Structure 1
Amino acid sequence: MVFDTDLSNPYLRQAAELREAFAVDAVERDKAGGQPIEQLRLLKASGLLRLAIPRTYGGEGQPWSTVLRVVREFAKVDGALGHLFGYHTGSQAAAWLYGSSEQAATLYQRSARNNWFWANNGNSRSRSLFGKREGEGWVLNGHKPFTSGSHIADYLNITWLDENGETVGATIPANRTGWKALNDWDAIGQRQTGSGTATYENVRVEPHEVHQPGATAGAPFRTVTPFLQQSVLLNVFLGSAQGALLTARGYTREESRPWVHSGVERHVDDPWVKRVYGDLYTRTLAATALADQALQALDQVWQLGFALTAEQRGQYAIPIAAANAFAGNTALEVTSKIFEVTGARSTANRFGFDRFWRNVRTHTLHNPEEYKTRNVGTWFLTGEPPAPSIIQ
């Protein structure tokens, strides 16, 4: 087993084909940043943007375990595209999690029919976007940071603060007058995610666009957005680790020279090189097993839906947090240590091997492992699960 893709699954087979297409210019695109326009075209043509939409509403009706394995596939060559696809599916599900069933049905149907790509303007930690009532609707002014996917979006999941400092959510089209993605993302990694700033100048939100949870407003199921976010990230981490390791193996086999004092004629025969690869592979294999358990947990959460209890939410939070923390640490280790066994020439910019580490390092800083591990440790010692919040 070398991180094989389940090609018997038609959606994963399609993702693997796209992965190979994305790999052709992944290094050049990472250097350029900006918008992955051709890759978005390929995604739309594939039909995978409808993967998580229930069949009832015109989608493919696939479980999160399939959706997030697609994220993993893309991240093997391009962490930014894995991130974008994952956040698209999470934003697409926002009305289902926060609004009424009628709102969700309408948006799912329209999204499936129009093949929309979704983006996230729902960063609840940011207190920089404000809304005022105007008639039955709202008018928004301010900005949102970390708006992943906004630079190529058709539709947006958004949140703002009302006059009382309470959070309000809605879904709006990306061509709404007054809304603008600045495309100013300038991090060392994830360079094509468009995770910079979106500005709002007198942006109108209509009453039917505002999320209306109704009687189930306090249901535990409405607090599971962090499960989706953590799951996207952990599969970006894992895919990056798998891709980095496979890429490094190919380079070591074909390009690396043995160290002058190694006593071997081929780099692959050096006992040190064998041990490092053995260790990195074992760690990545363990991270894969934990990630797969977390996928099962997320599938079960989604199947329960609004029947999910607070106790069950706490139980399911643990495998997802554990997998997230371990995947992030493993990916940092793998994407850094591959250079020890590929050699000095592998640092040439034309290879772009550093993109794996830069992407993982950028994302792990937005999702600190320390707090996930503390949550797991607290639960293990006391049985107390993480309290629902915007990041847990």
Structure 2
Amino acid sequence: MKTSTIKDPAIFLKTATLLAKEFEKDAAERDKVGGTAKVQRDALRKSGLLTLLIPTEYGGEGQSWSLVLQIVRELAKTDAALAHLYGYHFLHLVTPHFLGSEQQKKHYYTESANNNWFWGNSFNPIEPTLIGTREGDRVILNGHNNFSTGSQDSDRLLILWVENPGEKPYIGIIPTRREGVTVHADWDGIGQRQTDSGTVSFNNVVVEAEEILDTSKSNGTAFATFDAILSQIVLANVFIGSAEGALEKAREYTIGKSRPWYLTEYEKSTDDPFMQRRYGDFWIDLQAGVQLVEKAGKKVDESWLKQRKLTVEERGETVLYTGAANAFGTKVALNITGNMFELMGARSATRKNNFDRFWRNVRTHSLHNPIEYKRKNIGHWFLTGEFPIPSDYS
């Protein structure tokens, strides 16, 4: 078994920054086309960034969630879709860790490190439409799942199914190219257009016994409900990173191309005090958002290290910070990405510039988990002291 010393996180962050700059070159055009960002996904494979969270004893880099989240934010500055895929890769990869058996945790970490797997999902806990039928120790799957993020070009799929409607779901992991699995290129969201979040259909797909996550030891633990924490903080960083990227694009455009309003006497639009005040507001809100996602990331680090010793109270405290980061990040990102056009001017609102992709990306995914319910959950805790009830989204 491979062991190694923990590398300086700055090495990986530098790699991510260079990748983000490369992705930026054609991000606007790729957004128009949609589909699978195959070249960019392969660049992530070659970068060494897909094994960051895997412990060193299983062949990985042994890095922290906060570093992964920082990289998600860095990638989102130029390409929110790839940032989303990267963050959710780890959400799927670590599921055997917080939900499965020790043997499954070891197996999937080791195999993923050895084979540099890129993980996707076919996982819809709200509307399970994939049905499993027992055949001895195996399960035969028929049906489909929507919103299968990262399914195209993935190496492994985290999947969810039910045996009977209304009963508890089962979770498993299979090769994406298994016989009977069809990944459809039918994702048509207005944003996040290269997340490959379409439909996956299953026709007599076999799931072996060892591929079904064994939850007998994790059931009832706070750690077993860690998936909602991870998904919310990943997306919070996608939102804040998108806002950072959008604000920088708006600044460049305003300095280089915007004209002062013809009824003013300013020679440059940047001399306009109203323009300065609005940009000041954007920057202030963004700094608050960055600080909140970073604080939430540290809380995630602390809770993750406790594993099955994590208490209900510790989980609840982490949820408060990740939920707040997600809600505030959504608010800040929608404000900046939607209103920056007022500062750049009419000529900025063209398909050629495609600046609206920043807003479309944030708007698309923020709808999957309305911030009003996060606000309500946090307000309920503040008034009663009762932590949010664990669910797929809280």
Q: Please indicate, yes or no, whether the TM-score normalized by the shorter chain is above 0.5.
A: yes
Alpha-carbon deviation of 1:382? 1.0
Alpha-carbon deviation of 1:213? 2.3
Aligned to 2:249: 247
Counterpart pick for 1:213 among 206, 212, 215: 215
Alignment of 1:163-312 (within 5 A): 163=164, 165-312=167-314
Letter in 1 for 2:137: E
TM-score by length of 1: 0.97
Alpha-carbon deviation of 1:55? 1.0
Deviations 1:304-344 (A, max 9, x none): 11100112111211111111100001000000111011011
Measure, in 2, the Cα distance between the counterparts of 1:102 and 1:233.
Answer: 30
Counterpart pick for 2:353 among 343, 351, 354: 351
Q: Is the 8 A contact 2:16 2:75 kept in 1?
A: yes
Q: Is the 8 A contact 2:66 2:298 kept in 1?
A: yes
Task: Give the match's secondary structure for 1:243.
Answer: helix
Alpha-carbon deviation of 1:166? 1.9
Q: Is the 8 A contact 1:230 1:320 kept in 2?
A: yes
Measure, in 1, the Cα distance between the counterparts of 2:103 and 2:264.
Answer: 67
Aligned to 2:327: 325
Q: Is the 8 A contact 2:161 2:171 kept in 1?
A: yes
Letter in 2 for 1:138: V
Aligned to 2:20: 19
Aligned to 2:374: 372
Aligned to 1:52: 53
Alpha-carbon deviation of 1:301? 1.1
Task: Give the match's secondary structure for 2:217.
Answer: helix
Q: Is the 8 A contact 2:98 2:307 kept in 1?
A: no
Measure, in 2, the Cα distance between the counterparts of 1:175 and 1:304.
Answer: 35
Letter in 1 for 2:97: W
Aligned to 2:155: 154
Structure 1 stretches of 5 or more lacking a match? 1-6
Query: What fraction of aligned residue pairs are identical, expressed as a percent?
Result: 46
Measure, in 1, the Cα distance between the counterparts of 2:343 and 2:53.
Answer: 39
What is the RMSD of the two structures over their aligned residues, measured on CA atoms?
A: 1.1
TM-score by length of 2: 0.96
Aligned to 2:4: none
Task: Give the match's secondary structure for 2:249.
Answer: helix
Aligned to 2:387: 385
- Please tell me whether residue 67 in structure 1 is matched to residue 64 in structure 2: no
Measure, in 2, the Cα distance between the counterparts of 1:101 and 1:384.
Answer: 32
Q: Is the 8 A contact 1:145 1:198 kept in 2?
A: yes
Alpha-carbon deviation of 1:8? 7.3
Measure, in 1, the Cα distance between the counterparts of 2:324 and 2:212.
Answer: 34
Q: 1:318 to 1:8 in 2, by over 3 A?
A: closer
Measure, in 1, the Cα distance between the counterparts of 2:189 and 2:329.
Answer: 21
Measure, in 2, the Cα distance between the counterparts of 1:145 and 1:116.
Answer: 22
Measure, in 1, the Cα distance between the counterparts of 2:9 and 2:215.
Answer: 39
Aligned to 1:3: none
Task: Give the match's secondary structure for 1:214.
Answer: coil
Measure, in 2, the Cα distance between the counterparts of 1:123 and 1:66.
Answer: 28
Deviations 1:134-188 (A, max 9, x none): 1210000110011000012110111100237221111111011111110201110
Measure, in 2, the Cα distance between the counterparts of 1:36 and 1:313.
Answer: 35
Alpha-carbon deviation of 1:105? 0.7
Q: Is the 8 A contact 2:9 2:63 kept in 1?
A: no
Letter in 2 for 1:75: A
Measure, in 1, the Cα distance between the counterparts of 2:330 and 2:174.
Answer: 33
- Please tell me whether residue 38 in structure 1 is matched to residue 39 in structure 2: yes
Task: Give the match's secondary structure for 2:203.
Answer: strand
Measure, in 2, the Cα distance between the counterparts of 1:324 and 1:102.
Answer: 33
Deviations 1:249-284 (A, max 9, x none): 011111111111121101111111101100011111
Measure, in 2, the Cα distance between the counterparts of 1:270 and 1:328.
Answer: 28
Q: Is the 8 A contact 1:95 1:171 kept in 2?
A: no
Measure, in 2, the Cα distance between the counterparts of 1:260 and 1:8.
Answer: 50
Letter in 1 for 2:141: L
